[in-house]
Structure 1
Amino acid sequence: MKAIFSALICLWVQCACAQMKVVSSKNLEKEGIDPIKIANEYGSEEQSMMTEVMKKTSLIIASAFPENPNPGITVFTQIYVNESGSLDYLIFDLRTGDGYDKDSLDKHAKYAFLTGFDGWKVSKTGKKFSVVSVRTVGKQPVVREVRRGDSSVVDLKTALVFQDTLKTKRLYLNQLELKTLPDVIYRFPNLEELYLGNNKLQAVHIDMARLPKLAQLHLQQNKLTEKSFQITGNNTLYLLNLKENKFTNIPIAIRKCKKLRTLWLGGNHMSALSNGSFRKLKTVQDLNFYKSDIAVLPKGIKKMKNLEVLDLYYNQLEMLPKSITKLKNLTHLAVSYNQIKALPERIDKLSRIHTLYAHHNRLSKLPASITKMQNLKILDLGFNWFTNFPPELTAFVKLQELDLSSNNFPDFPEQLLEIKKLEKLYLRGNPFVKDDAETKYSRQLGQLKSKNIEVFY
């Protein structure tokens, strides 16, 4: 009886295959299928039909595999539908981690697609089309970011037994779900780079006396706070990555890093920033507060005398403190995606700035003093509230790239023609940029292009 049942299943599958071919991508050549030739025969279709096929595919995958397999499974499908609305071909590829018999998994998926699509059709017929989809189920294997080489150790197991520890300069213990700092880090006294990001560390105490050459420390995506992060005094650490932890203020422990140049704190909820937060950080040149929920930037930031790069992207700032103009060494200022209505009146004091990103704010005019910022090379004022062209822009003799996209200029700003050394100009999304813009403003666009200026509109 069992043999008869198996024979009937095989016969049914063969009949189904005669109507619809379901093939794993690794068996295409074996099955005599040319995917390029097939792709050329089937065009694209309107979104509603694609959505219908993808929805059906997702339902089949959801019913075929457990809800949370571990390791997870990623299913790639290429589906080709004929004029009658039925499937001609379904090519699939399964990707997962260890722990599965890949051949058995392929057979299981093939059977699921054959039975799931048997007799099924799209609601609208009359045209061949193809659909590509990707569906992931369960926990996906972590793709670790490591740099392999003679000077690197890339996992905890190797670190514990490694013999020639004096030659190791980089230790990668990132993305290993560590809950505590492993003492094994101190087996490598000549370590220069230590990667502990994307773990579950709630407390870290680094004894720098035992790591006398450590220059980079990466602790992003953990659960550290001001109190739980500790580091001893040192003169070697120059880069500290604390992004996406649970800090609300700049940890006091950082002040013990006497030569620190790069400090990244983006992705923390920096609600407790105060004037005193910036004490003893004079050596820092690169400060990252990306997505840090900052509503008010304390005036104490002026204490960071050597700051060159300040990233304030995606915060809640309505204004910048006047004290920011004390940062005389600033070369790169990024304040995009805030709610800033005006730049500081004496922004000209930041005379070394060559790159200013202020797009996605509420600017409608520029301070008169900005014309003195003669080192500006890149200026992005896109997605603001300008209705009149700011005449100050014509004063920049070194400006190479200017973005005025998605403002409210009703007509082509003639004053743009006066800017001397422009190389790239972005004007997309303004009211004057319509279908007839190229004809209506052919003279202006022609003059810009004659100066070898790339214009995006």
Structure 2
Amino acid sequence: MFKMEVYTSDSSDTESREQKTLDYGRMDLTEITLDDDLHAKKALKTHKDFETLMLNHNRLVQLPASLTKFTNLKVLDLSSNRLVQLPDAICNLPLVTLIAKNNQLTNKSLPKSFMMRSVTLKELNLSGNQLTHFPEQVVELKQLRYFYAGGNKITAISKDIWRMQSLQVLSLGGNLISDVPEVVGSLSQLQALVLCDNLIENLPASIAHLNSLKSLLLHKNRLRHLPKDIIALKNLTELSLRDNPLVVRFVQDIAMTPPSLMECAARVIKVSSIPYGPGILPRTVIEYLQSANCCVNPNCKGVFFDNRVEHIKFVDFCGKYRVPLLQYLCSSKCIQPEPERPQTSGANGYMMRKVLLG
């Protein structure tokens, strides 16, 4: 399972950060018990002294009104509660990071605007909720860097997403998205695009314009081909394609059809360096021999004409490779097996897979 969730912090001093953090995580609190405790805390320390408030893994259905007293709050973690509403008042806080994943939020549950007071929101996590469409108010956040909305029921990506020019991570895996709009290709700062576990059949050619893209996760979709210009993504180091018809079909069709007698004979002539020329062979046969292509396998001296294997390497799990790399081989035997490597947590089999396209 891919995980790229970046929780930002302005303070590099751990001790100072801990002093400014109020942690109510995993305390089985309701909004009533939380509100009572927040009022009690005022005698010990004023609300404005806290910059991080952890309310994760409780039983909150709604947020207490006293939350708005944290006038210097930068990070708010509301994950894994039972929230059915994020009030508009939350936008009065100068939040940089808002984490509200794994709740019961719908599109109607969200604030009318996510524009935070005085400080622009940099990270928003709405994963694991009940959103049915891309929250349009999110596209207002022109300085947002990280947006997570995986594990919802979103059916489409907003065509106004091009406005989010600061976006570095867009994570929308585990939704019901069937189409990726062309405007996604205009997100020039995007480094990670997570679209796994959706219903996507095609990618727009504009994906090739994402020059900063390093990670593209597309596993568990309905892809049958990739845009040919995807090879222009020079910074791409991680591409996940497993469980797509693209991969399944190529694996099933791994066997080559036998080469023709003409090709077999021509291969022998080229590999064995048998002399030929006018007066020995017909002109059409000579032209055929001159069209020979060398196998890209450095350990193979073979050639091919019409019959070949199209071979592409791509990264799965947590491997690293510049992809896709398309090669033409004279035989399926020319595919060099990947050496065994120690398995790492969450990776089954080889960290690198090779898939035949043919």
The aligned counterpart of 2:108 is 273
Which residue identity does 2:334 align to in structure 1?
A: R
Conserved 8 A contact 2:101-2:127:
yes
The aligned counterpart of 2:74 is 238
Distance, in Å, in 2 between the alignment partners of 1:331 and 1:238 is: 20
Distance, in Å, in 2 between the alignment partners of 1:394 and 1:415 is: 14
Conserved 8 A contact 1:275-1:299:
no
Shift of 1:211: 2.4
Shift of 1:386: 1.4
The aligned counterpart of 1:215 is 51
Shift of 1:151: 6.7
1:411 partner SS: helix
The aligned counterpart of 2:306 is none
The aligned counterpart of 1:424 is 321
Which residue identity does 2:147 align to in structure 1?
A: L
1:277 partner SS: coil
The aligned counterpart of 1:163 is none
Distance, in Å, in 2 between the alignment partners of 1:397 and 1:243 is: 36
The aligned counterpart of 2:60 is 224
Shift of 1:272: 4.2
Which residue identity does 1:286 align to in structure 2?
A: E
Map 1:161-200; keep pairs closer than 5 Å.
169-170=20-21, 172-178=23-29, 180-181=33-34, 182=37, 183-189=39-45
Q: Deviations over 1:252-298 (max 9, x none)?
A: 2211212x111011122222437862242371111111111111123
Aligned pair 1:400/2:237, yes or no? Answer: yes
Distance, in Å, in 2 between the alignment partners of 1:365 and 1:302 is: 24
Distance, in Å, in 1 between the alignment partners of 2:66 and 2:147 is: 24
Instruction: Select 1:443's aligned residue among 327, 334, 337.
Output: 334
Residue 388 and residue 188 in structure 1: after superposition, are their counterparts in 2 closer, same or farther (change >3 A)? Answer: same
Aligned pair 1:391/2:228, yes or no? Answer: yes
The aligned counterpart of 1:104 is none
Residue 311 and residue 222 in structure 1: after superposition, are their counterparts in 2 closer, same or farther (change >3 A)? Answer: same
Aligned pair 1:456/2:346, yes or no? Answer: no
Select the structure of larger CA radius of gyration.
1
Distance, in Å, in 2 between the alignment partners of 1:242 and 1:212 is: 19
Conserved 8 A contact 2:187-2:210:
yes
Conserved 8 A contact 1:342-1:365:
yes
Shift of 1:362: 1.3
Residue 216 and residue 229 in structure 1: after superposition, are their counterparts in 2 closer, same or farther (change >3 A)? Answer: same
Shift of 1:406: 1.2
Residue 285 and residue 442 in structure 1: after superposition, are their counterparts in 2 closer, same or farther (change >3 A)? Answer: farther
Distance, in Å, in 1 between the alignment partners of 2:181 and 2:131 is: 18
Which residue identity does 1:309 align to in structure 2?
A: Y
Q: Deviations over 1:5-47 (max 9, x none)?
A: xxxxxxxxxxxxxxxxxxxxxxxxxxxxxxxxxxxxxxxxxxx
2:57 partner SS: coil
The aligned counterpart of 2:189 is 352
Shift of 1:350: 1.0
The aligned counterpart of 1:367 is 204
Residue 358 and residue 277 in structure 1: after superposition, are their counterparts in 2 closer, same or farther (change >3 A)? Answer: same
Distance, in Å, in 2 between the alignment partners of 1:186 and 1:242 is: 21
Distance, in Å, in 2 between the alignment partners of 1:396 and 1:448 is: 27
Which residue identity does 2:49 align to in structure 1?
A: K
Shift of 1:319: 0.9
Distance, in Å, in 2 between the alignment partners of 1:253 and 1:365 is: 40
- Structure 1: gaps spanning 5 or more residues: 1-149, 153-166, 190-209, 428-438
Distance, in Å, in 2 between the alignment partners of 1:406 and 1:371 is: 22
1:244 partner SS: coil
**RMSD, aligned CA:** 3.7
Q: Which has the higher helix share?
A: 1
Aligned length: 257
The aligned counterpart of 1:337 is 174
Which residue identity does 2:169 align to in structure 1?
A: H
Distance, in Å, in 2 between the alignment partners of 1:385 and 1:238 is: 40
Which residue identity does 1:311 align to in structure 2?
A: Y
Residue 323 and residue 284 in structure 1: after superposition, are their counterparts in 2 closer, same or farther (change >3 A)? Answer: same
The aligned counterpart of 1:323 is 160
Residue 172 and residue 239 in structure 1: after superposition, are their counterparts in 2 closer, same or farther (change >3 A)? Answer: closer
Which residue identity does 1:237 align to in structure 2?
A: L
Shift of 1:212: 2.4
The aligned counterpart of 1:286 is 123
Shift of 1:444: 4.9
TM-score calculated relative to the size of structure 1: 0.49
Which residue identity does 2:41 align to in structure 1?
A: I
Residue 219 and residue 172 in structure 1: after superposition, are their counterparts in 2 closer, same or farther (change >3 A)? Answer: closer
Which stretch has the larger CA shift, 356-365 or 172-181?
172-181
Conserved 8 A contact 2:50-2:70:
no
Conserved 8 A contact 2:23-2:53:
no
TM-score calculated relative to the size of structure 2: 0.62
Residue 263 and residue 214 in structure 1: after superposition, are their counterparts in 2 closer, same or farther (change >3 A)? Answer: same
